[in-house]
Amino acid sequence: MTQAKALKALTLVFAGFSGLGGIGPATLSPSVAVAQESMPASSASVDATSPDGRTEISLATANGQPVYTVTRDGKPLIAQSKLGLRFASGANLDRGFEITETAADSHDETWQQPWGEKRTVRDLHNEITARFTSTDDGPERSFTVRARVFDAGVAFRYEVPDTGERALVDEITEFAVEPNATSWWTPAGEYNRYEYIYKTTPVRDIYRVHTPYTLKYDVEGADGPYLAIHEAALVDYAGMWLDQRRAGVLEAELAPRHDGTKVKIDGAFKTPWRVIQIADTAAGLVNGADIYLNLNAPNQLGDVSYFEPGKYVGIWWGMHINKYTWGSGPDHGATTGNTKRYIDFAAENGFSGVLVEGWNIGWDGDWFNNGDKFRFAEPYPDFDIEALSDYAANKGVKLIGHHETAANLPNYESQLDAAFQLYRDNGYSTVKTGYVADASDLVLEDEEGFRRYGWHAGQERVVHDLNVLKKAHEYGLAINAHEPVKDTGLRRTYPNAVSREGARGMEFNAWGSPPNPPEHTAILPYTRLLAGPMDFTPGIFDLMPNGEDNENRIQTTLAKQLALYVVIYSPVQMAADLPENYEANPEPFQFIKDVPADWETSIALDGEVGDFIVQARKDRKSDDWYVGALTDETARTVSVPLDFLDDGRSYTAEIYRDGEDADWQTNPYAITIESRTVTAPDTLELPLASSGGAAVRLVAGR
């Protein structure tokens, strides 16, 4: 092929690209050779290696184009990929550069989370920085790429000096991955934000996906490694989607601002970290996910002890199954009487919170298109907020607030102080926010008062969310955002960002059309949950909430519902079903009453993306351990070596597992609850039914 016209065919050549995961750089496939032919390696490059010596990132230029590559055990993982930024005006930072300064650093720090999936986090990494400086005759321009290499993956960010007020229009960061790798993804840039059933396809079949985007390099019989591409510290920037414009070459695509630009810049700025998690196993991805926390700045809020992790019930599922309405009327859910009933139930069963939705003015009529109707400091007349907060306080329970905004940001922002003051006055400490809207219809307002529309994870929304967190902190409130911007580890910096939605949660099982498939919760731990806590709202005991509609039944067993409390981490964990369904099933309900929502440490023991997971966590307030295991539609028995228990100590294992003939389709309620004494050398064998699960409490003996 001629050097010239060959370039037109570059995509096609990439289409023949395979085997990247399984072969060394000396035998790169012809496709890679062609890609590099058009972009020869520069003489100046700078490398950094992970503490365990296995992963290496290299920063360089190729024909003046800043690039990077990543290898693992000497084999290519991310082929040569572009770096750069383009603007609506002034000089771009993309071509015509050379590396003029480099620096290296190592870092080993241990820090603590006020609450979390683990108390102590170690931040051990090596760092390099490369200063890229322009080589042309024009005014000199430069920027820095800072890269960190952890055992759990690599990360890099751009640091750009002050060039005045400009609009960033394109971050051209590429991730050149193996196009035939299997991957798990949800589509980005679509109506329902992040709330989609996961698809499992080769990389080459994606168009635009959300992060974390998880890949398994399984070509030519390889069994890994596993990668997850995501970002950390998304602050005053736009959320990153990944677009595939050539086979295997993913490009950062930033969610647009209302005017089509991507990021409004004024002065020096740093981008979020672009993170490539790397692990030998699927469970390894889960265990390495504190990389995102390590890439965020330390706590900037200080004391957030107003928030305590806990479990809650709520007037919420009743709306989804048409028992109650959000709006006013005869079936209004958020009445004073009904709320007292929930407070009573919470108090009797050890729950610390009661969520009430539909309590404030604005729900009547077409709120979806009229978010400006919401009044966040005006309860419906049949919701006596003062009386209820007294009632709750007397029972040792707190109400959890709810602010549905319909993604109308100016309407919410104009009422934030009044809204938060009302909650503070009434003893609330947590607020669930909501931004239900078409992903491209975030309602904004310009300086002249005209309505503008932004994107769900565009810069305007990112900034809004951060402002809400800061304002909430002033009022001693924690935020649990639904229809959120994706989690990028900001809870380290703003630890009142306690949980969020950001994936298909339990609510989709109320609506059907279709419900979450059996594999859904066997994919979440390796994708969405890598990013951080999720308010999934587990614990539905009536698995046919829409009556005898078998097609739309909830596609799990009862035991799997219990397993979710350990598998899915959230410091606010809901018992989502109606109180009467718990009262009717006290034995399995006991596990929900027992399971904590705050952990000393967490270990993913085993699993495979989309197939199963076995997760162990240790209570932060006792020496007890908990194990959750769940499977997709395939029944399987998982072996759980208990070597994480204290040596020489005996534990009482309270096991909630699928019954003998359990099956999500034919016999979902069959559950066996049994107790036995175990020690560290023991191995639990947990039989999981089709879409089944197991939940184990390991009570430490004296």
Within 58-117, the residues that bind a copy of itself by CB under 8 A are 63, 86, 88-92, 95
**Residue in 42, 134, 154, 170 binding a copy of itself, rule: CB under 8 A:** 170
Position 683, amino acid: T
Q: Which stretch binds a copy of itself (CB under 8 A): 21-29, 71-79, 277-285, 363-371?
A: 363-371
**Which helix (H) or strand (E) segment is 81 a member of?**
strand 75-82
Q: Compute the distance between CA of residue 603 and CA of residue 599 in angstroms, rounded to an integer.
A: 11
586-594 helix and 558-567 helix, angle to the nearest 10 degrees = 0
* Minimum CB–partner distance for residue 16 and a copy of itself (Å): 5
Stretch that binds a copy of itself, among 242-250, 492-500, 531-539, 657-665 (CB under 8 A): 242-250
- Phi, then psi, of 459 in degrees rounded to 5: -55, -40
- Choose between 200 and 299: whose C-beta lies nearer to a copy of itself: 200
440 interacts with a copy of itself by CB under 8 A: yes
Q: Is 586 in the site for a copy of itself (CB under 8 A)?
A: no
User: Positive or negative, the Cα torsion across 589, 116, 607, 209?
Assistant: positive
Of 233 and 554, the one with the shorter C-beta distance to a copy of itself is: 554
**Helix (H) or strand (E) segment spanning residue 465:** helix 459-474
Minimum distance, C-beta of residue 208 to a copy of itself, in the bound complex (Å): 6
* Residue 368 in contact with a copy of itself, rule: CB under 8 A: yes
Please tell me whether residue 617 binds a copy of itself under the rule CB under 8 A: no
Assign 111 to helix, strand or coil: strand
**Is 448 part of the annotated catalytic residue set?**
no
DSSP string, 345-378: HHHHHT--EEEE-S-BTT-SS--TT-GGG--TT-
Q: Which of residues 284-323 bind a copy of itself (CB under 8 A)?
A: 319-320, 322
Is there binding between residue 136 and a copy of itself (CB under 8 A)? no
CB of residue 80 vs a copy of itself: minimum separation in angstroms? 14
Kindly tell me which residue out of 246, 491, 492, 500 binds a copy of itself, with binding defined by CB under 8 A: 246
Closer residue to a copy of itself, CB minimum distance, 376 or 656: 376
The residue among 436 and 635 lying less far from a copy of itself, judged by its C-beta, is 436
CA–CA distance from 289 to each of 221, 235, 625 (Å)?
A: 26, 19, 20
Do 231 and 275 form a contact (C-beta atoms < 8 A)?
Answer: yes
The length of the chain, given as a count of residues: 702
Candidate residues 107, 122, 245, 676; the one interacting with a copy of itself per rule CB under 8 A: 245
Cβ closest to a copy of itself, residue 88 vs residue 700: 88
Nearer Cβ to a copy of itself (363/536): 363
Which residue from 74, 103, 109, 191 is in contact with a copy of itself, where contact means CB under 8 A? 191
366 vs 587 by CB, closer to a copy of itself: 366
Q: How many CB atoms lie within 10 A of CB 406?
A: 24
Contact set for a copy of itself, span 476-535 (CB under 8 A): 508, 511-514
Nearest Cα neighbor of 295 from 473, 173, 143, 147 is 147
**Angle (CA) 393 395 396, round 5°:** 65
To the nearest whole angstrom, how small is the minimum distance from the Cβ of residue 494 to a copy of itself? Answer: 26
Instruction: Name residue 590's amino acid.
Output: Q
As to burial, measured by CB atoms within 10 angstroms (0-12 exposed, 13-18 middle, 19+ buried), residue 644 is: middle
**Would you count residue 259 as binding a copy of itself (CB under 8 A)?**
yes
From the list 228-236, 362-370, 409-417, 647-655, the region that binds a copy of itself by CB under 8 A is: 362-370
The Cα 682–Cα 679 span in angstroms is: 6
Q: Which is nearer to a copy of itself, 447 or 660 (CB)?
A: 447
> One of 56, 117, 404, 507 is an active-site residue; which one?
507
- Provide the token pair at 638: 């998982």
Nearest one of 134, 278, 195 to 534, comparing CA atoms: 195
- Residue 24 C-beta: closest distance to a copy of itself, Å: 23
Q: Under a CB-based contact definition with an 8 Å cutoff, are residues 233 and 146 in contact?
A: no
For 24, which DSSP code?
Answer: -
Pairing state between β 353-356 and 310-315: parallel
Does residue 326 touch a copy of itself according to CB under 8 A? yes
Does 169 participate in binding a copy of itself (rule CB under 8 A)? yes
Part in contact with a copy of itself (CB under 8 A); list of ranges 66-74, 105-113, 243-251, 592-600: 243-251
Provide the pairing of β-strand 612-619 with 599-608: antiparallel
Binds a copy of itself by CB under 8 A, chosen from 260, 298, 302, 547: 260
Total residues at interface with a copy of itself (CB under 8 A): 72
- Write out the two tokens for 690: 């089709």
For residue 461, which phi and psi values (nearest 5 degrees)? -70, -40
Q: Which is nearer to a copy of itself, 448 or 661 (CB)?
A: 448
Question: What minimum distance in Å lies between the beta carbon of 378 and a copy of itself?
Answer: 17
Output the CA–CA distances (angstroms, integers) from residue 581 to 13, 216, 543, 576, 671, in the order listed.
Answer: 58, 40, 10, 10, 16
Nearest distance, CB of residue 239 and a copy of itself, angstroms? 15
Q: Compute the distance between CA of residue 690 and CA of residue 663 in angstroms, rounded to an integer.
A: 5
Span of 69-77, 108-116, 438-446, 522-530 interacting with a copy of itself by CB under 8 A: 438-446
Q: How far is the CB of 218 from a copy of itself (least distance, A)?
A: 22
Site for a copy of itself in 7-66 (CB under 8 A): 7-13, 15-16, 38, 63
What's the closest the beta carbon of residue 445 comes to a copy of itself, in angstroms? 12
Sheet with strand 625-631: strands edge to edge: 599-608, 612-619, 625-631, 693-700, 651-658, 671-678
Q: CB of 504: closest distance to a copy of itself in angstroms?
A: 10
Q: How many other CB atoms sit within 10 Å of the CB of residue 701?
A: 12
Task: Please identify, using beta-carbon distances, which residue of 34 and 304 lies nearer to a copy of itself.
Answer: 34
What residue type is 249 in one-letter code? V
Catalytic center residues: 507
